[in-house]
Chains A and B, each alone.
Chain A
Amino acid sequence: MIVAEQKSLEELKTLIGDARKVLVVGCGTCVTVCFAGGEREAAIVSSSLRMASTLEGRPREIHDVTVQRQCEWEYLDQIAEQIGDADLVLSLACGIGVQAIAEHFPKTWVVPGLNTSFLGLPSEQGIWVERCAACGDCILGLTGGICPIARCSKSLLNGPCGGSEDGHCEIDPEVDCAWQLIYDRLTAMGKTEVLLNIQPIKNWRTSRDGGPRKIVRPDLRLAAEQDIPAAGANLRSIRLLVSGAGAAAIDAGERD
């Protein structure tokens, strides 16, 4: 899931500024399950801001609503009227949801109520940990299902480094050494020979280094929406081409 944290009430008040009619919009997916921006949190933020505004002597009209997913147009369409009535929208979604509102409602001033943190999972009650860096070229099949890109502080492909001590990372004794975890798991699975394959330098074009990423699935496109980029267009895209046999090939598109 996308894991996020709520901004402080003080920062939210600053972001809201002088807006008189505020709509707090929660999201019913990732940020609901990490207790940052779901229906419950939207109601608490809305109520807290109403009380704080009243105490400051400038009461505002603050309402809240939560949609299933802020990152899809059809769910945003359901609250178009409420968004149109507001001076300002405080989005409690991840950064994708905030941008979706900005893109879908060009005349709406939207501000983020959360800090989007990482892609991860809840390891214990009340604790979330990072597990994926969305590098666009998954190597978990080579590392026993433990990601050295997200979990090794240096994102090493042939670890561990000299900073690994008693199974922990040199940056913090609380942080597990990802390569120790990988070695332990491969040992337990009887597959340590996998480590003998030296991994070549990673192609980071599929990660953030290639600019904003995009996936086009021709098999899912609607005929009416097919767009053909003009010849010579400066297109930065990653196209996932699925052949009849199901094999995937990556075409890194035209570059600068």
Chain B
Amino acid sequence: MYLKSLLRDIGLEPERVQMYHISSAQAAQFAQAATEMNNQIKALGPSPLRIPRTPINDIEPPEESEDNYHY
């Protein structure tokens, strides 16, 4: 509850965090919770705080120097 209200105050969706009580013997419940959260986060979309990543193909390879190790 505290974390949800803190997220709301910050300006983020409180649904981004959820607490589940699941014992180590409850595999099915764990899978269900993981699926539920996965769907929830997908529906909300990426965090607005997230810095857009440069597509991997656009990253310049680092210049090689004598300090680099090659295996």
Smallest Cβ distance from B42 to chain A, in angstroms? 21
From B8-16, B26-34, B55-63, the one touching the partner chain is B8-16
* B11/A44 in contact, CB under 8 A: no
Q: Which residues in chain A, 30-59, are within 8 Å of chain B measured between CB atoms?
A: 44, 48, 51-52, 54-56
The dominant DSSP class at the A interface is helix
Smallest Cβ distance from B3 to chain A, in angstroms? 10
* A52/B6 in contact, CB under 8 A: no
For B9, the chain A residues whose CB sits under 8 A away are 8-10, 48, 52
The tally of residues in B whose CB lies under 8 Å from a CB in A reads: 7
Smallest Cβ distance from B69 to chain A, in angstroms? 35
- Cα distance, A54 to B48, chains bound together (Å): 9
For B19, the chain A residues whose CB sits under 8 A away are none
For A44, the chain B residues whose CB sits under 8 A away are 6
Interface membership of B49, Cβ < 8 A: yes
Give chain A's interface residue range (CB within 8 Å of chain B).
Answer: 10 to 19
Most-contacted residue by chain B among A44, A51, A52, A56 (CB, 10 A): A51
- Residue of A whose beta carbon sits closest to that of B51: A54
Smallest Cβ distance from B56 to chain A, in angstroms? 25
* B6/A55 in contact, CB under 8 A: no
For A48, the chain B residues whose CB sits under 8 A away are 6, 9-10
For A9, the chain B residues whose CB sits under 8 A away are 6, 9-10
Smallest Cβ distance from B12 to chain A, in angstroms? 7
For A54, the chain B residues whose CB sits under 8 A away are 49
For A56, the chain B residues whose CB sits under 8 A away are 11
- Cα distance, A8 to B49, chains bound together (Å): 21
Smallest Cβ distance from B1 to chain A, in angstroms? 12
- Residue of B whose beta carbon sits closest to that of A9: B9
- Cα distance, A10 to B49, chains bound together (Å): 19
Most-contacted residue by chain B among A8, A10, A55, A56 (CB, 10 A): A55
- Residue of B whose beta carbon sits closest to that of A44: B6
- Cα distance, A44 to B7, chains bound together (Å): 11
Q: Which residues of A contact B (CB under 8 A)?
A: 8-10, 44, 48, 51-52, 54-56
- Which 9 A-B pairs have CB atoms at the shortest separation, nearest pair first? A9-B9, A55-B11, A52-B10, A51-B10, A48-B10, A52-B11, A54-B49, A51-B49, A55-B48
Q: Which residues of B contact A (CB under 8 A)?
A: 6, 9-12, 48-49
Could you write out 16 A-B pairs with CB less than 8 Å apart? A8-B9, A9-B6, A9-B10, A10-B9, A48-B6, A48-B10, A51-B10, A51-B11, A51-B12, A51-B49, A52-B9, A52-B10, A52-B11, A55-B11, A55-B12, A55-B49
